[in-house]
Structure 1
Amino acid sequence: MQIDDHQPDKHLLNAAAWIAGIGTLCLLLGNVVGSIVVPDHDWVADTVSDLAAGRYEIIQDVALYGYAASLIACAIAAAHLHLDGTRWNVGIACLALLAMCVVVIGARNEYGDNDSEGIVIHIYVVYFLGLLFAVLFLTMARGLSGIARRYGVISYCCAALWIVGAPIFFLLPTEYDGAFERGLGVITMVWVASFSWMLISVARDADHIRAQEI
């Protein structure tokens, strides 16, 4: 395991890992519950955005805000650890910007209900989000490999799947784009879950190092 000279704070890392894990679970549960509660929702044909508009929008909105919190927690922990140079800094910036994008998507109800009033930015935020995830997976992979090779492999695999899959989403017919979009969401959740487990492992190792020093 390779980290900077400073001793990592296990409490901060564990807290960030738990927040990231709970936020990711919120996204998953919000999607499942919303798909069940929202009338006539077809999870294969209808996208997640359709759940975030209308009478039951609060379910998906809370899920999105929870996921934004998980991304912020990852950014804070990543800044604390700083496992790589400029590439890692770019990854931290991506995490922060991704959290902002998710909040904007949840706060602006201009999807699902065919809203076209004022400036409609949803599609542009989605494009930006797609780019940020790709950059995140690629730039943080090398630093994660310094902790354990498996974390870097997971990040590179997520990058490959995302770079191939994200453009395909915009080309799919609406009869299937809902299921495909959820598949892309799973990729991001796998990465966050892996990052969270990495934080827990670093916190545990830091605790062992302190015990040996004593």
Structure 2
Amino acid sequence: MSQVTQSQVTESQDTQFQNSRQIFGTPLPRVLGGVALLACAIVLLCDVTMWFLVKGYNPISQTISELAAGPHHWLQDTGIVVFVIGTFCLAIDLFIRGEKGWKPWLVRIAMVLICVDIAMIALWNEYGDGVPGGLEIHIYLVALLYPLVPIILWFGTSVLPARHGKFSTIAKVTAIAWLALAPIFFILPTRIDGLYERFLGCIMIGAVAIAAWRLIDEPTPNHESEN
């Protein structure tokens, strides 16, 4: 009898979650996932568009930062900021679900930090002190991605809705690979550092896209807990 009662309570909680968090009849997590997935497409589109807008630009030998500091930089900055907004949508979902335990909180904090970090990477030169030779923090912001990305990839597989998904193993392998591959960027010859930087960027974009798809595919919360 107690098991039936608990099942009824759980079902009632699921129903309340869906009914109270909808936008035009669509579950909020699915909307957040859709925004995040769209943001991934936009940041890629903005980058590729810049290859043709900036005369003489070579995406293999020249980095993304060179686009952000050159002509039409607003388009590159816009794409990155949109990607930040999409990533923040995933963080919002984590807060809405309210899952308890240190792992969910670690992922939430890491998600917020990486959003702030990437936004500052895109906007610091434009909204900094504007004085040539002023405070240079770009390299430190980039370095902060080194621990944040694997934290999110590894521990993100322990929280809803990614838990026990078919991509969990891939995410953990990617987290380990990131720790080995990311530092290589700083010792690469300049003739290919643009290509390699985009490879690392695609890892982050791919992770956000997969997480976004999970929200679209499975917007209803699962009450199973893992701490």
Q: TM-score, normalised by structure 1?
A: 0.84
Equivalent residues in 2 for 1:194-209 (5 A)?
A: 194-203=210-219
- What is the root-mean-square deviation in Å for CA atoms of aligned residues? 2.1
Cα offset, 1:21, TM superposition: 0.7
1:89 equivalent in structure 2: 105
**What amino acid sits opposite 1:63 in the alignment?**
G
1:31 and 2:47 are equivalent in the alignment? yes
Q: 2:56 aligns with which of 40, 50, 56?
A: 40
1:52 equivalent in structure 2: 68
- Distance in 2, matches of 1:74 and 1:198, equals 10
Contact 1:84 1:142 in 2 (8 A): no
Structure 2 portions without partners, runs of 5+: 1-9, 222-227
2:168 equivalent in structure 1: 152
Look up the SS of the partner of 1:167 in the other structure.
helix
- Distance in 2, matches of 1:16 and 1:154, equals 23
1:118 and 2:128 are equivalent in the alignment? no
Residues 107 and 145 of structure 1: CA distance in aligned 2, closer, same or farther (over 3 Å): closer
Cα offset, 1:146, TM superposition: 6.2
2:152 equivalent in structure 1: 136
Look up the SS of the partner of 1:62 in the other structure.
helix
- Distance in 1, matches of 2:41 and 2:65, equals 18
- Distance in 1, matches of 2:85 and 2:100, equals 23
Q: 1:108 aligns with which of 119, 124, 139?
A: 124
Kindly provide the CA deviation profile for residues 127-168 of structure 1, in whole angstroms up to 9, marking residues without a partner as x. 012221121111112225864431312321321231121111
Residues 166 and 144 of structure 1: CA distance in aligned 2, closer, same or farther (over 3 Å): farther
Contact 2:161 2:214 in 1 (8 A): no
Structure 1 portions without partners, runs of 5+: 207-214
Contact 1:83 1:146 in 2 (8 A): no
Contact 1:16 1:74 in 2 (8 A): yes
**What amino acid sits opposite 2:214 in the alignment?**
M
Look up the SS of the partner of 1:170 in the other structure.
helix
Identity %: 27
Contact 1:17 1:74 in 2 (8 A): yes
Contact 1:72 1:96 in 2 (8 A): yes
1:66 and 2:82 are equivalent in the alignment? yes
Look up the SS of the partner of 2:212 in the other structure.
helix
2:6 equivalent in structure 1: none
Residues 147 and 141 of structure 1: CA distance in aligned 2, closer, same or farther (over 3 Å): closer
Equivalent residues in 2 for 1:5-24 (5 A)?
A: 6-7=13-14, 8=17, 9=21, 11-24=27-40
Look up the SS of the partner of 1:54 in the other structure.
coil
- Distance in 1, matches of 2:161 and 2:88, equals 21
Cα offset, 1:45, TM superposition: 0.8
Structure with the greater alpha carbon radius of gyration: 2
- Distance in 1, matches of 2:98 and 2:189, equals 42
Q: TM-score, normalised by structure 2?
A: 0.79
